[in-house]
DNA sequence: GTAAACAAGTTTGTATCGCAAACCAGTTTG
DNA sequence: CAAACTGGTTTGCGATACAAACTTGTTTAC
């Protein structure tokens, strides 16, 4: 944003609550499929799909398309980049909170 | 956002870093003029103006246009609503951070 | 066996947003 | 009095987030 208040310069990818939610789940769950994320987040299918695509494009998440029997299944995992971004974002949020006291 | 993860349902007005920065300054400074905010935030004039308008429209900030001698001066203060929103947002951020551990 | 319902996502449409650049009214300087 | 400066506001535009509509394939009903 600027260099006067770099503290408030956050990762816009993770600053979006829906994506932070997804990422938080994947950070501890290691792996989750589309329907699990759908249920945990309460997002619509369209939005979940779009946010996952964005996270994939940023290389924060890797997506594996497989089948559970004959039914398609979309598996999601955080990449190394994604894990690091999550940890960085968490640190940044802590700094911001300190600034807000 | 949803009721499955209400923790991630934040105030979108303050979730924007530029506005959070402005609001954080006003929370402790009580009153600040346009040029002071400009310098402290490092925003461009256009963006500062737009974000202040938005904060005013939400009744988070009140704006008083006066003169310092012959020179126009825009004074900004948080409203009661704004102070409360700031405190709520800070609480919400704390909850999110806990969820992220 | 085929039509209707369902499952798992993806694509489309739209209103909003955040940003920089251009603009503007008034003041000061040369 | 013209040019430059101040203190902002408005405009233009690409990107975003969301819901609704669509798609591809499978299962169920009859």
For residue B44, give the DSSP letter. Answer: -
Give the CA-to-C1' distance from B13 to C7 in angstroms: 37
A5, A24, A99: residue with CB nearest B42: A5
Instruction: Kindly determine whether residue B4 and residue A99, on different chains, have CB atoms separated by under 8 Å.
Output: no
Task: State residue A92's pLDDT score.
Answer: 97
- Angle at Cα B75 formed by Cα B70 and Cα B80, nearest 5°? 160
How many interchain CB pairs under 8 A, A with B?
75
Distance of residue B45 Cα from the nearest chain A Cα, in angstroms: 13
Per-residue pLDDT of B12-62, as tens digits, reads 999 999 999 999 999 999 999 999 999 999 999 999 999 999 999 999 999
B17, B90, B97: residue with CB nearest A94: B97
Judge whether residue B94 has pLDDT over 70: yes
Rounded Cα distance between B40 and A8, Å, is: 12
> A71 vs A7, A36, A66, CA distance in Å?
46, 15, 9
Distance of residue B48 Cα from the nearest chain A Cα, in angstroms: 12
* Residue B33 Cβ < 7 Å to strand D: yes
Domains of chain A with CATH codes: 9-94 (1.10.10.10)
Q: Binning pLDDT at 50, 70 and 90, where does residue B4 land? A: low
Judge whether residue B3 has pLDDT over 90: no
Chain B residue with minimum CA distance to A39:
B4
Judge whether residue A2 has pLDDT over 70: no
Judge whether residue B2 has pLDDT over 70: no
Judge whether residue A60 has pLDDT over 70: yes
């Amino acid at each position: 944003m600027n260099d006067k208040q770099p503290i408030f310069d956050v990762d816009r990818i993770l600053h979006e609550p829906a994506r932070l939610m997804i990422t938080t789940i994947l950070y501890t769950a290691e792996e989750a499929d589309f329907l699990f994320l759908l249920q945990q987040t309460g997002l619509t299918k369209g939005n979940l799909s779009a946010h996952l695509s964005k996270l994939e494009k940023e290389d924060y998440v890797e997506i594996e398309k497989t089948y559970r029997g004959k039914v398609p299944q979309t598996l999601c995992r955080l990449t190394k980049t994604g894990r690091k971004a999550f940890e960085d974002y968490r640190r940044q949020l802590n700094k911001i909170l300190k600034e807000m006291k």
